[in-house]
Amino acid sequence: MELIFHLCMISLLLLSSSKSTTAADSSSSSSSSSSEIISRFQKYLQINTAQPSPQYQEAADFILSEANSLSLESQTLEFVPGKPLILLKWPGSDPSLPSILLNSHTDVVPAEHDKWAHPPFSAHVDPHGKIYARGSQDMKCVGMQYLEAIRRLKASGFKPTRTVYLSFVPDEEIGGHDGAEKFAESDIFKALNVGIVLDEGLASPSENYRAFYAERCPWWLIIKATGAPGHGSKLYDNSAMENILKSIESVRRFRASQFDLVKAGLKAEGEVVSVNMAFLKAGTPSPTGFVMNLQPSEAEAGFDIRIPPTADQESLEKRIAEEWAPSSRNMTFRLGQFKQKASVLDNSGRPVLTATDSTNPWWALLEEAVKKADGKLGKPEIFPASTDARYFRLQGLPAIGFSPMANTPILLHDHNEFLNKDEYLKGISIYESIIKSYSSYAEHARTATWRDEL
């Protein structure tokens, strides 16, 4: 009896040891998988695609290599030589259904290297799991999360009903004119039969992810003032400097009135017109600086204006002409027009925005998919700046800006841009849920009707 007892105890110990070993192996495998995922993200971040000289070819080669490892169809488009746009395809079982487009841009803004705690293209991971790199938030994270989500879906045996396209476009950080704009207007794009576009959003300092249904359009304005030059001691009426300062003060008052609405919580940042002065150009240069006893005959000021699609465009133009740069004060616009003026209306004359109510099934699917992945979605917002999504909305398509980064400070274009690796990995699960939901959606008739009525 005692022998039997000892044999049973030995068996239990061996079984326990076996389970511990299996658990350790499983944990090691999971850790290795996460490590590989982060490593791939780092490799993409380490490619210096900063404007004005992005290493586009190196980025393209990397993306194509990843696509090949996933057995995705791929093609390289160059609407402008030297600026490759990579288009990937995961074919669906029903090609008659409108497809899904997952868009991201490959370029990033420049970085002041000496202002960073770690080199901006090193993709350094600190002890807290923060991945420091230019593009970690804007928006190489999203491009790689698309790919990693598809990697997981393929590994699980999932097959999409709708075709899924991924576009990696150039030049978003300088306006997207040679990238997404040309792509959206091309016959190649029209042949894709896209039904919904996902593009970039913003990090969220709270636990709720942010989703954007529209964005403010850029109006880049240059105002010029002229006047008679004169001695620095003399008081003149309508001198160039006096008039430009009056304009700046008028703009400042308008800016303050808009900002007060945000501070009071009456409107979100994306719902007001923002105006910020980008430069002031005046003075007569001298070998040691500027001539101090000479009033200049010309002065210029540049303003970055962002206007939401819900704003009164005509009213703002009237304000500029009558208050900010009236001809009565010798004020003009550079070349008599805006340097860049994006439309707040699509090609059919409708506001450039995506519905967030029951008329848009894609929005409801997004909310459900995020919830299924244990995420929380905040109130729909207007993006405060500009993204490539506007070019797809101009075609009358629904486009949603979404970057799954919760509990993360907003650091796009800032020094020490980072994304925590745990948040990055969670974002992959979020996209896995979204892509699965979107590509499985089969209510073709409803989608087609909604698009016609947008």
Is 177 flagged in the annotation as binding? no
Pairs from 110-118 (Cβ < 8 Å, separation ≥ 24): 110/50, 110/51, 110/52, 111/50, 111/415, 111/417, 112/415, 115/415, 115/416, 116/415, 116/416, 117/416, 118/416
CB 386 within 8 A of CB 379: no
Q: Looking at 373-417, which runs of residues are DSSP E strands? A: 376-377, 381-383, 399-402
Q: How far apart are CA 434 and CA 411, in angstroms?
A: 25
- Residues paired with 165 in a beta bridge: 89, 101
Reduced to 3 states, what is the DSSP secondary structure of residue 319? Answer: helix
Given 66, 171, 172, 346, the catalytic residue: 172
Residues near 23 by Cβ (< 8 Å), separated by ≥ 6? none
3-state helix, strand, coil in the chain (%, to 5): 40, 20, 40
Known catalytic residue: 107?
A: yes
Q: How far apart are CA 380 and CA 254, in angstroms?
A: 26
Given 107, 215, 346, 381, the catalytic residue: 107
Q: Are strands 376-377 and 208-209 parallel, antiparallel or unpaired?
A: parallel
- Alpha-carbon Rg for the chain, nearest whole angstrom, is 27
Q: Which residue matches tokens 């002890």?
A: 127
Is 138 flagged in the annotation as binding? yes
Q: Omega of the bond prior to 52 within 30 degrees of 0, cis?
A: yes
Is 173 flagged in the annotation as binding? yes
CB 217 within 8 A of CB 309: yes
Report which of 196, 138, 185, 179 is spatially closest to residue 385, judged by C-alpha positions: 138
Known catalytic residue: 172?
A: yes
Q: How far apart are CA 70 and CA 72, in angstroms?
A: 5
What type of residue is 145?
Q
Residues near 371 by Cβ (< 8 Å), separated by ≥ 6? 377
Q: How far apart are CA 90 and CA 86, in angstroms?
A: 13
What type of residue is 451?
R
* CA dihedral (19, 25, 31, 34) positive or negative: negative
Q: Quick one: CA torsion of 316, 317, 319, 320, rounded to 10 degrees?
A: 120
Q: Which residue matches tokens 């929380």?
A: 376
Is 78 flagged in the annotation as binding? no
Reduced to 3 states, what is the DSSP secondary structure of residue 302? Answer: strand
Q: How far apart are CA 287 and CA 297, in angstroms?
A: 19
Q: Residues marked as binding?
A: 105, 138, 173, 200, 413
Q: Residues marked as binding for Zn(2+)?
A: 105, 138, 173, 200, 413
Residues known to be catalytic: 107, 172
